[in-house]
Amino acid sequence: MTLTVNCPTCQAPVSWNETFPQRPFCSERCRLIDLGAWAAEEHVIPGGENEEQDLFSDDLPEQ
């Protein structure tokens, strides 16, 4: 039994196997469209602006 998922870009069905090397995308084109959306900050991972600063603030020397 083969798992089928929808392409995140165009919603086309994609079989989760070696016949679709770009999975979960249906094609190189859809993969690049998604990459461009991340680069343009159309997709973001939720979090506050200062979360990264808080994570690494202990690494900084005290002034």
Confirm whether residue 30 is marked as ligand binding. Answer: yes
Confirm whether residue 26 is marked as ligand binding. Answer: yes
CB 14 within 8 A of CB 24: yes
Q: How many helices (H) and strands (E) does the chain have?
A: 2, 2
- Higher-scoring residue by pLDDT: 50, 20: 20
Q: What is the pTM of this model?
A: 0.65
* Structural domain includes residue 26: yes
Confirm whether residue 7 is marked as ligand binding. Answer: yes
pLDDT, residue 20, reads 83
pLDDT at 49 over 90: no
* Structural domain includes residue 11: yes
* Structural domain includes residue 30: yes
- Higher-scoring residue by pLDDT: 56, 31: 31
**Which ranges of the chain would DSSP assign to H, the alpha helix?**
28-39, 51-56
Question: What's the mean pLDDT in 19-24?
Answer: 88
* Structural domain includes residue 61: no
pLDDT at 26 over 80: yes
CATH of the domain at 17: 3.30.50.10
| Residue-range definition of the domain harbouring residue 38 | 4-45
Question: What's the mean pLDDT in 30-40?
Answer: 94
* Structural domain includes residue 18: yes
CB 49 within 8 A of CB 55: no
